[in-house]
């Protein structure tokens, strides 16, 4: 009798499980645009300012979970911080994967980048964490400070290429921290290699840029076939990707063999090689993680874009100050109260400069450099707020929408650093949500290099504000200043009039040539 009761109970549980599963599969998909047969929304996907278009659609449909269908590929756009946390963090066990990226990973050769790997890959993440967790990342502050001071010194002599100087600023910090290498100019071969290798990746990561990402079977089309120009492009871009990975690593090893390496990710990691296991495999892992850092030398989201994100964030902040001279004046007045005349700030001064911190936070909120976080994928069928999330869906977190949510940031399109300060302006207001909640990604895939990126951005901005008075020379610094296309927002080149605030500061900047 007991056995019959047990079997009946098992049968009932199984029936209920199947019923619940069928009910879930019968749930409606999240709200979305009208779809065409077979192709769905494929030809309606935005090709520019995607984050703004997705936010517009979400508001029109009154949803923070938007569904699109690109020829059978489900795309879910999360338009609120609540939805991103509920799925990407609270359910991270099934939302931490990366979607298949045939163009970037399989054809362009970026399979070594752990930012594109599924979360199950642990070796690369452990190497990254060991060198860039909050305490460890502070070891690289001398390199970041030196890069900021070098940036100021170059501007004393040549102000004709601000974006080129910013690219060198961010590239210097990454190269020094990752490989222990120094670079001589913005035309240094390592900066050139990084730019050539990364520039094609940024637009290629936008969903829909290449049809092969929607129809992966196209990767097998021969290069000579009509319409297969993407295969020929990918072949050249693959060569550049491998240069990004291999060239600086081999140079770093040569410097280490000379016996006087600068402290860096490579020197620290190579010193810990375990002779009991495969040395070659360990070196390959270190090379790949280093290439991930160097190759991104931006912003978003994740470490492979770290330096682009740094460059874009500093540039956007300077553009904001050009358009808000009263904000620049307040920041300089705060610096003058704290810093000894004729000197420049360093990291020890950060807690005493809350207004400058608010300026940096507001610029990153106002013009986020990674408006859409790198895509996640859902590894299992799921349900959220009565809607079905199909297995294999591409999940996009719309960071731009979260940072312009007027329920969190009133008057979100205005540049107001004061929103991050308490009433008397003497400290940051902890009640206001830090923009980092959306800038660096979500869940288990949050950017592991965020601490280094944040400190690099802060020291560059505070150094520039302390050192120079600067003004617009034309309309290139206007509020509607253009940005390059892609998942990382880099401003178009702009010009401004720059002059040292006084002779003492100029002398101090020039004296830092022997720094480090």
Alpha-carbon span 439 to 453, nearest angstrom? 11
Q: Token pair of 387, please?
A: 């809607």
| CA-based torsion, 136, 140, 141, 144: positive or negative | negative
Paired sense of beta strands 73-78 and 394-397, if any:
parallel
In 34-97, which ranges are continuous DSSP H helix? 50-60, 81-84, 92-95
Alpha-carbon span 237 to 193, nearest angstrom? 11
> Residue 329: phi, psi to the nearest 5?
-60, -45
Alpha-carbon span 207 to 223, nearest angstrom? 22
Residue 321 burial (10 A CB sphere; 0-12, 13-18, 19+): buried
b/e sequence 253-264, b meaning 16+ C-beta within 10 Å = bebbeeeebbeb
List Cα–Cα distances, 196 to 108, 164, 295, in angstroms.
13, 14, 10
Alpha-carbon span 321 to 470, nearest angstrom? 9
Q: Are 307 and 291 in contact (CB under 8 A)?
A: no
* Residue among 83, 51, 46, 85 at smallest CA distance from 64: 83
Q: Are 345 and 466 in contact (CB under 8 A)?
A: yes
User: What are residue 380's DSSP bridge partners?
Assistant: none
Q: Are 460 and 148 in contact (CB under 8 A)?
A: yes
Q: Is 317 annotated as a binding residue?
A: no
Q: Token pair of 67, please?
A: 């569904």
Residue 222 burial (10 A CB sphere; 0-12, 13-18, 19+): exposed
The angle subtended at Cα 66 by Cα 63 and Cα 70, nearest 5°, is: 160
Q: Token pair of 342, please?
A: 């004729």
Q: Are 305 and 104 in contact (CB under 8 A)?
A: no
**SS3 at position 107:** helix
Alpha-carbon span 310 to 300, nearest angstrom? 9
Question: What DSSP string describes 276-312?
Answer: TS-HHHHHHHHHHHHHHHHHH---SS-GGGHHHHHHH
Alpha-carbon span 217 to 323, nearest angstrom? 49
Q: What is the DSSP letter of 44?
A: G
Q: Are 82 and 175 in contact (CB under 8 A)?
A: no
Which segments are annotated as binding site? 447
Which segments are annotated as binding site for heme? 447
């Amino acid at each position: 009798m007991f056995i019959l009761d047990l079997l009946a109970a098992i049968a009932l549980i199984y029936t209920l499980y199947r019923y619940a599963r069928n009910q879930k599969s019968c749930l409606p998909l999240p709200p979305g645009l009208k779809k065409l047969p077979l192709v769905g929304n494929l030809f309606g996907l935005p090709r520019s300012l995607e984050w703004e278009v997705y936010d517009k659609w979400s508001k029109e449909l009154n949803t923070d979970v938007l569904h699109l269908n690109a020829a059978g590929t489900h795309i879910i756009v999360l338009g609120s911080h609540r939805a991103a946390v509920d799925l990407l963090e609270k359910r991270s066990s099934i939302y931490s994967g990366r979607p298949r990226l045939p163009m970037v990973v399989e054809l362009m050769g970026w399979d070594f980048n752990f930012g594109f790997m599924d979360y199950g890959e642990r070796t690369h993440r452990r190497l990254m964490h060991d060198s860039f967790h909050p305490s460890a990342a502070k070891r690289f502050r001398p390199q970041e400070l030196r890069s900021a001071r070098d940036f100021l010194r170059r501007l004393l002599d040549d102000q004709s290429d601000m974006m080129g100087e910013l690219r060198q600023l961010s590239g210097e910090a990454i190269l020094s921290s990752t490989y222990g290498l120094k670079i001589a100019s913005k035309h240094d071969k390592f900066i050139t290699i990084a730019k050539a290798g990364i520039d094609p990746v940024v637009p290629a990561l936008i969903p829909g840029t290449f049809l092969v990402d929607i129809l992966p079977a196209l990767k097998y089309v021969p290069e000579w076939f009509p319409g297969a120009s993407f295969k020929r492009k990918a072949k050249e871009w693959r060569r550049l990707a491998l240069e990004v990975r291999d060239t600086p690593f081999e140079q770093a090893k040569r410097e280490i063999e000379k016996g006087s390496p600068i402290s860096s990710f490579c020197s620290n990691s190579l010193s810990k090689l375990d002779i009991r296991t495969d040395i070659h495999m360990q070196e390959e892992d270190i090379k790949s993680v280093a290439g991930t850092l160097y190759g991104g030398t931006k912003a978003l989201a994740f470490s492979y874009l770290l330096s682009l994100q740094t460059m874009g964030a500093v540039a956007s902040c300077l553009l904001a100050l050009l358009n808000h001279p009263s904000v620049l004046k307040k920041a300089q007045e705060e610096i003058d109260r704290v810093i000894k005349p004729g000197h420049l700030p360093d990291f020890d001064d950060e807690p005493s400069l809350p207004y400058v911190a608010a300026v940096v936070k507001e610029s990153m909120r106002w013009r986020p450099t990674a408006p859409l976080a790198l895509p996640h994928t859902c590894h299992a069928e799921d349900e959220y707020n009565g809607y079905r999330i199909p297995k294999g869906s591409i999940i996009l977190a719309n960071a731009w929408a979260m940072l312009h949510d007027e329920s969190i940031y009133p008057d979100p399109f205005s540049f107001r650093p004061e929103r991050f300060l308490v009433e008397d302006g003497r400290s940051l207001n902890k009640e206001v949500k830090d923009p980092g909640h959306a800038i660096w990604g979500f869940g288990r895939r949050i950017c592991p290099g965020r601490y280094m990126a944040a400190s690099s951005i802060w020291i560059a901005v505070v150094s520039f504000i302390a050192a120079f008075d600067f003004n617009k020379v034309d309309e290139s610094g206007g509020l509607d200043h253009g940005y390059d296309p892609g998942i990382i927002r880099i401003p178009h080149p702009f010009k401004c009039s720059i002059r040292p605030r006084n002779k003492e500061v100029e002398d101090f900047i020039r004296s830092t040539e022997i720094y480090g």
